[in-house]
Amino acid sequence: MMTYMLLVMLPGMVLSGLASMMVKRTFAKYENVGTQSNMTGAQAAKLMLERQGVTDCKIEAVSGRLSDHYDPRVKTLRLSEPVFNATSISAIGVACHEAGHALQHAQGYPWLKMRSTLVPVTNISSKMSMPIIMVGGLLMSLVPVFGTPVLLLGCALFAVAVVFSVVTLPVEWDASARAKTAMVDAGIVTPQEMGGASNVLNAAFLTYLAAAIASILTLIYYLQRSGVLRMLLRGRH
């Protein structure tokens, strides 16, 4: 069991750690590299949105580092302090990526709609899944007949979070693609500066990809613990 856990879960944990380290290093690398436009992150995001006809999105600063996000409930783009007032390639890349989410919302991007629908369900299932899985795992060793259905319930709840992480991938990729196009078209960055901005956006996407892979591997592990994976594999033979 320990060997299976290491083979399935450890790669996901390592991948997540490497992706997180990469995005921090990439952001730091371009944090001190300016652009010819000398725009701040907030100015770049505003220009990107206005050029697409989006004028009802608020842009405000929030505390923290890499805490940038778009809140579709109140049409507000929240940029962290290192992004809001900074004029670096890193700041502009992050700000324009978040502006990409605002464009998705304004234009009814279906994957964003799906992710927004999953948010409240995922918030609940994420809090409940691990305690139920732990109880199920304990019961499996004591009373397997009761432990199996409890563990399966925990897996089902955790599967919602897995679906959310997978749905997040096209949402994040599309937001970056919109940002890459808009940054050059609007004159926010030059074609020569675009390489650095792309590196920032690509590194950020890797964190979402790593999170999705890690969550899938974790679900596989618990399905194996419950015996469902074993039954499915036997059914194919």
Whole-angstrom distance, CA of residue 154 vs CA of residue 162? 12
CA distances from 167 to 113, 118, 156, 161, 176 (A): 10, 9, 17, 10, 15
For residue 70, give the 3-state DSSP assignment: strand
CA distances from 19 to 22, 23, 26, 136, 181 (A): 5, 6, 10, 31, 24
- Kindly compute the dihedral angle of the four CA atoms of residues 100, 102, 105, 106, in this order, to the nearest 10 degrees: -100
Of the candidates 146, 204, 144, the residue with the CA atom closest to the CA atom of residue 177: 204
172 is annotated as an active-site residue? no
Whole-angstrom distance, CA of residue 38 vs CA of residue 152? 54
Taking the chain, what is the end-to-end CA distance rounded to the nearest angstrom? 23
Q: Are 129 and 161 in contact (CB under 8 A)?
A: yes
Annotated catalytic residue: which of 60, 81, 98, 172?
98
108 burial level (CB within 10 Å; 0-12, 13-18, 19+):
exposed
Active site residues: 98
